[in-house]
């Protein structure tokens, strides 16, 4: 039991450091059907990051986009950035101050190098990230994620979170995934 707690703590610290250094994207494992979320509350700032293989969101992951695929991808990105539609916070008096979404197609630098590994040559991911400012962060009790209805290709969401001195991991398989930050 104690050992597990220590491991979680170490994982959490690493996660937090990665989020701070902006390296979180590269650390995610690309598995079709799965999406990743990282949630960190740091004082009054709540960072929420979502990453998914584009295959889950658009049904393709080709190397070169056709015009219609490009349009489809634009629509995916605008759905992702619309956090009102799929993210809900309970308590904390938090308001959204920054948001962005994008994909590995946007920036050729972030496309996985084909010469390195044949197995992963054609994978692409999309992401959305949000920064909320919370007036009463200690009262933030729950975050719910309802994105699987919009994107049925997402079979499960791997969620890791650090909120105050609490942290946890949730594997979400329901249409709406609730993450409770306060332990009963």
Residue ranges binding Zn ion (CB under 5 A): 53, 61, 123
Nearest approach, Cβ of residue 30 and Zn ion (Å): 5
Nearer of residues 12 and 53 to Zn ion, judged by Cβ: 53
One-character DSSP codes across the chain: -HHHHHHHHHHHHHHHHHHHHT-HHHHS---TTEEEEEEEEETTEEEEEEEEEHHHHHS---SS--HHHHHHHHHHHHHHH-HHHHEEEESS-EEEEEEEEEETTT-GGGSPPTTT-GGGTT--EEEEEEEEEESSGGG--EEEE--TTT-TT--EEEEEEEETTEEEEEEE-SSSEEEE-S--
Task: For the CB of residue 55, give the shortest distance to Zn ion in the complex, in Å.
Answer: 5
Q: Which residue number has the CB closest to Zn ion?
A: 123
CB of 25 to Zn ion, least distance (A): 14
- C-beta closer to Zn ion: residue 11 or 31: 31
Kindly state the smallest distance separating residue 105's Cβ from Zn ion, in Å: 12
Q: Which is nearer to Zn ion, 53 or 92 (CB)?
A: 53
Give 53 or 102: the residue with its C-beta nearer to Zn ion: 53
């Amino acid at each position: 039991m104690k050992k597990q707690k220590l491991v979680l703590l170490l994982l959490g610290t690493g996660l937090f450091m990665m989020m701070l250094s902006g390296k979180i994207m590269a650390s995610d494992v690309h598995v079709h059907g799965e999406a990743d979320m990282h949630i960190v509350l740091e004082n009054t700032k709540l960072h929420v990051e979502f990453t998914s293989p584009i295959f889950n969101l658009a049904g393709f992951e080709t190397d070169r986009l056709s015009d219609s695929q490009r349009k489809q991808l634009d629509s995916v990105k605008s759905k992702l950035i619309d956090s009102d539609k799929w993210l809900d916070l309970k308590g904390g008096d938090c308001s959204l101050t920054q948001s962005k979404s994008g994909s590995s197609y946007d920036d050729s630098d972030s496309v996985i190098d084909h010469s390195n590994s044949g197995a992963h040559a054609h994978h692409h991911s999309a992401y959305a990230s949000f920064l909320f400012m919370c007036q009463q962060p200690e009262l933030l009790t729950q975050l719910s994620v309802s994105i699987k209805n919009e994107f049925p290709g997402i079979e499960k969401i791997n969620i890791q979170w650090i909120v105050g001195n609490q942290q946890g991991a949730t594997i979400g398989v329901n249409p709406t995934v609730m993450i409770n930050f306060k332990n009963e």
